[in-house]
Structure 1
């Protein structure tokens, strides 16, 4: 197999809106501000949640003694998420950060009960037109655009012979769940690939979970062994199974959210070598930017950006 000697980083821009909104009051005060990140799962996914935690580290590094930060892993038992949000909201945290669509309903319930808190919801949308959520700022991404580039790359590597025909003629997609946000990735990926090769076929699998790398590997191996030459994982921890599968059968994968080639470069170079590129969401930058705006009194609460 031809070795990829140049790797591409696919950036992703935030989606903007023109909704009317207020701004969080400036956060300067004598006492340090307190920011907590509630992880609806566990760290170690080398992707989404780890990037959120990295963003918290970046806040601490930038603001030092002016801020206190904490990351709380809520685990995968969803019955514990709402009680945890309620408990944390009753404590003295100034800013409460959370990620993914799975948390939207929880913040919808909790935020109006705690108007003195500022909530930051990353990659989730609030029903701003149906209630008073003037203390919630939410951000969504144009993941279909970044995924379009990933699809172009996957198809292009086949078309130009970088990936030999003997590896297969199809490209693959591994999603954590069959839900709108994951299918937004898929739509962009397929359209990008077909822009390069209108006849290309895309093998699609959903694991039904974001936390099972073994399941991800099983599904990815099935794709690779059926003629898939390169796959794109959008499945959190589950997606790491695709990269492991690629290592086993000497085929490429495309990472998501974080630069997954860099993550494995030191600990597992052989696995890192099978990551052609990664489509970045830059959740860490989003977390830091939200806090920067909060400190400046410019965080546009009451809207999705």
Structure 2
């Protein structure tokens, strides 16, 4: 079966309904699927919010393999979809190649920058939100040892790791931060079994709060933490409800807003780089009834103070991407 035929085989792989208006927007999910309870699902929620509010329709595609990226983009552009939004840095190289071939189509890419005149690049201030998660973890930890489990070992996820470590150390300079990554290939985003194994290993080393920035792999981290009766921290989407009373908080990236805003702008989407930070509510800690019993007044005050200091520039969490280093490690 040719690659294009494989791409088009089955509604699960490519959900493009016939007869849609030419200007329908489109959303391509990265590996892991739209119901990963994390990054992709946040994007899906943004698209669905736009659909509910406008009554419009959109095309969607779930990636099944790395090899599909270019064909997927070209296929959607040929159908007239505009704008086309994609989740994940891994689309960067392909989009840089494809975008010039469709100058009248607007593209939006989440989590990396692509310098093309018809592309909006949406990036997030992950160090800011992760710093707050670190503050909370340090205050919640009884052992003085906390953990971080990343998905694919790439600079983007080191942004989460470094921001988290800074928040932990600023709150408890004597705290120990354990760090593991799931792997070095895209499969690292969708391996909950490995995530659980790493969580168990960190628990054996004393960690009693573990932050997972690992896409679908993080589901295994959160499950293992709950099973071991320690705390976890979710990422991207609000994951507090997955294990009420066991998930300390979730570092939410408003990927949903990025998708919603792009769909709402339509073909008039503003190009260039858009940063979503703490000040613009682009990142935040999730607080709700599921984690309310875990959050003390002291924790609330400390997080609120740190958030204020970040917003006004008093605290400036280091961005790993600026020099590929983390000052607290």
TM-score band by shorter chain is: 0.7 to 0.9
Contact 1:144 1:188 in 2 (8 A): yes
Residue aligning to 1:226:
205
Identify the structure with bigger relative contact order (alpha carbons < 8 Å, sequence gap 6+): 1
CA distance in 1: counterparts of 2:26 and 2:262, whole angstroms: 13
Q: How many residue pairs get matched?
A: 250
Q: Does 1:34 align with 2:9?
A: no
- Residue 32 of structure 1 and its aligned partner are, at CA, apart by 7.1
Residue 72 of structure 1 corresponds to 61
Whether 1:147 aligns to 2:130 is yes
Report if the CA contact (8 A) 1:174-1:233 is conserved. yes
> SS of the residue aligned with 1:72?
strand
241, 258, 262: which one aligns with 1:290 = 262
Where 1:121 maps in the other structure, the secondary structure is strand
1:176 is paired with a residue whose SS is strand
TM-score under structure 1 length normalisation = 0.79
For residue 24 of structure 2, give the secondary structure of its aligned residue in structure 1.
Answer: strand
The answer (yes or no) to whether the contact 1:32–1:68 under 8 Å persists in 2 is no
Identify which of 231, 238, 247 aligns with 1:275. 247
Cα deviation, 1:48-74, whole Å, max 9, x if unaligned, reads 00111111111111211xx32122101
Q: How far apart are 1:300 and its partner, in Å?
A: 2.2
CA–CA distance in structure 1, aligned partners of residues 80 and 180 of structure 2: 43
d(CA) in 1 for partners of 2:271 and 2:77?
17
Deviation of residue 188 (structure 1)? 0.7
Between the aligned partners of 2:273 and 2:123, the Cα distance in structure 1 is 11
Match of 1:232, SS?
strand
Give me the whole-angstrom Cα distance separating, in 2, the residues matched to 1:70 and 1:272. 34
**Structure 2 unmatched runs, 5+:** 1-20, 276-329
Alignment correspondent of 2:173: 198
Per the TM alignment, residue 258 of structure 1 is displaced from its structure 2 partner at its CA by: 1.1
**1:92 counterpart SS class:** coil
Alignment of 1:87-126 (within 5 A): 87-126=75-114
- 1:302 and 1:261 map into 2 onto residues whose CA distance is 33
**1:294/1:90 Cα in 2 relative to 1: closer, same or farther (>3 Å)?**
closer
Aligned equivalent of 1:28: none
Give the TM-score, by structure 2 length. 0.73
Helix, strand or coil at the partner of 1:250 = coil
How big is the shift at 1:81? Answer: 1.5
The separation in 2 between residues aligned to 1:257 and 1:304, in whole angstroms, is 18
Structure 1 unaligned spans of 5+: 1-30, 159-164, 265-270
Structure-2 change in CA distance of 1:114 and 1:97 (3 Å): same
What per-residue deviation string (whole Å, max 9, x for no partner) do you get for residues 23-78 of structure 1? Answer: xxxxxxxx6730111112112210100111111111111211xx321221012x20
CA shift, 1:292, in A, is 2.6
CA distance in 2, matches of 1:185, 1:214: 22
- Give the match for residue 226 of structure 2: 247
